[in-house]
Structures are given as C-alpha cells and as structure tokens.
Structure 1
C-alpha cells in the first residue's frame, strides 16, 4: 500500500460488515487510524482484531444510530476521543434496507428507515463538521445507491433515502467546502461479497451492464480511499458512480 491516508483519523459507520467493513480495512491499510462503528460488539471486535493483526490501527465504538440527536452526538464525541481528539474523515455508511412495496410499507417502517438512513447521518455530520472546520479541514463521504436514480419496482422507500443523501452531499459541499471540508458521495451498484457456488438474485440486476457482474465491497472501498485522500483535493460535491455502468450504459448483444 502507498499509505495515502497516513496520519489521518477516520470514523466509518456501519463498519462491522460488507461495504463499511471493507472501507474501514482499506483506510487502515492506507495508514489511517480508524474508528469502527456498529451495533454488534462481537462483529466490531472481529474487524478491529483483523486490522490490528495486519499492522493497522483501529478502535471499536459501539453505536445504535437510531436517528436521535443524542446517539449521533455521543458517537461523534466517543470517536474523537478514541482517535486522539479529532476525526479527519467521516464515512456515513450505516443504513437499513427494508423490503416490500410502497403499499405494504407502514408508517413505523417509514419513520425508522428515514431515521437511520437520513436523520442519523444528518446529525452526525452536524456534530463532526464544525470540529473539522476548526481543525483546518476534513472529508465527509456519504453512501448513496444506484437505485436513487434508476427506478426499480421495489425499494421506493430505501431509494428515496439515498436520493436524500445525494442531495445532502451537494448541499453540504456548498455549506462546508468553503471552510475546508470536502463532501462527496459514492453510489454503489449491486455489491455483495461473493460466496463460491452461491447464486445471488442481485446478479440479474447487473446483466446487460459493461461489468456484467456484481461488484465487491473492495471496489467501493477503493473509491472511498480516493475521496478521503489528498488526490481528490479538488473534488467537491460529486456522486461517484461505482456501479459497473448500471446507471450509465447498456450493453446490447449483437
């Protein structure tokens, strides 16, 4: 590794599995001191132990980001404490994906999904961004989704929350960018850790794309490293599609 994040500190929410875990591991491999956040202490310890075994620096911070201001502010304080007083990079990754159609979605589910996917990162950013400004700069990376811009007949509730996060990315870039905090987003395609011999239903969603297959969490993590580092110092307010071409191109067989 090139240690592109050497000397930086980072908080990654939802970092105990899948994309969040891959981002935390990639940041640590590039030299960052990482706060791994999630609900499960057992899974968090597994991620942290793995990072440390490879020579990286990581701490687990347990948090249930339910949308409440108190939970977001508590995570911001504890992450800064375990990271030595500051958070240079924030990755708003934690989220939930409910199944079901619009008609089948009840009010309780609607409120919970918006609380976790939008309200929690909103107030976490509100708690961390001012400290980044005071420290002289930082980077915030939000996780969007390809279905925020390409409609599918299921997942309307989830896709709308990711659309909200992409809009917040642009608004926060305008709000915090002039004060030294870069805000960008990544829009993953269908991503899943491959299991040998297992057929995954999401695979069909990538047929007819340039990649013609699902992506892996590492692909998203590589994009996050770029957006967190100095190589992207002139990048503000973008949504970086890492989706195998799902939203931009169709491959038509001759």
Structure 2
C-alpha cells in the first residue's frame, strides 16, 4: 500500500491498536517522518458474533480493547501533534451496527455505540484546536458487509 500511494506520503507501521505502547510507536513514527499529523483514521476492529449468553470476559475485553480503547488512545496520543487552529479531520470508520438489534451483534454494536458517543464528545472537546472529529459510515462498506454475512 505504501508503495502504491508513494512512500513520501505514507509509512507502514506494524502495531496492535489495543496496546497503548504500539499506538505511541505509531504516532511517533508518523511525526518523525512528516513532522505533524493532519489526519488520523481509526479503522481497525474486530466483530465477534456473540449473544449475551455466549460472550466471555476475554471476548468482551479483546473487542473493547481493539474497537474502543484503540481509537480513544490513538486520539490521545495523536492530538498533541495535530496543528492548532487547522481543519484536521479525524475519521473513525465502521460498518453502522450501533443500531443493530440482532442478538449476535450485541458485543460489536456496543463498541460501535461507544465510538458514536466518543465522536460526539471529542468533536466538542477538540474543536478549540480546530480539529474536526467525524464518524464515517460508508454505505459501500455496509453493503459489502451484508453480502459477506448472508
């Protein structure tokens, strides 16, 4: 991917987004290469299909660590390196399942609900720095998801 979009404009960093130390490494590598961050995109996630009866503590912890903790601490580590007063966009993506009511979506939908609320609060909190925070719900991603899940 990096070669495809030209190495001057991108870097590849292997990281586990559920680990704060890896998020720090990720942000540090980008800031070292580019001097600042204009856009960050939280796009990693997992979707275990579990009912409340089938969810283990390990399932819960892993899913929230990847889907909620990762984006939360990515923003925390990245925000100081984002230009003050600029119109920087933070996009957090995910198939729109925060409103899904099927029992197997409970754990995943709970994390997406957390991301939706995190986006609302961060958009207010980071506005003073000129950082816009949005959540992306791409229809094409949702259509692809629905085809795969059928």
TM bucket normalised to smaller: 0.7 to 0.9
- 1:46-85 → structure 2 map (5 Å cutoff): 47-52=1-6, 57-66=9-18, 68-82=19-33, 84-85=34-35
Structure showing the higher strand proportion among its residues:
1
Matched residue count: 147
Answer yes or no: is the 8 Å Cα contact 2:13–2:29 preserved in 1.
Answer: yes
Deviation at 1:105? 1.1
Q: Which runs of 4+ in 1 moved over 6 A?
A: none
Residues in 2 aligned to 1:180 and 1:87: alpha-carbon distance in whole angstroms: 13
Structure showing the higher helix proportion among its residues:
2
In structure 2, stretches of 5+ residues that fail to align are: none
Q: Which residue of 2 aligns with 1:147?
A: 97
Q: TM-score, normalization: structure 2?
A: 0.85
Cα RMSD, aligned residues only: 2.3
Answer yes or no: is the 8 Å Cα contact 1:145–1:188 preserved in 2.
Answer: yes
- 1:163-174 → structure 2 map (5 Å cutoff): 163-174=113-124
Of structures 1 and 2, the one with the larger relative CO (CA 8 A, separation 6+) is 2
Describe the shift of the 1:137–1:201 C-alpha distance in structure 2 as closer, same or farther (beyond 3 A): closer
Structure with the greater alpha carbon radius of gyration: 1
Residues in 2 aligned to 1:135 and 1:201: alpha-carbon distance in whole angstroms: 42
SS at match of 1:100: coil
Deviation at 1:99? 2.0
Q: Which residue of 1 aligns with 2:77?
A: 127
Residues in 2 aligned to 1:201 and 1:145: alpha-carbon distance in whole angstroms: 12
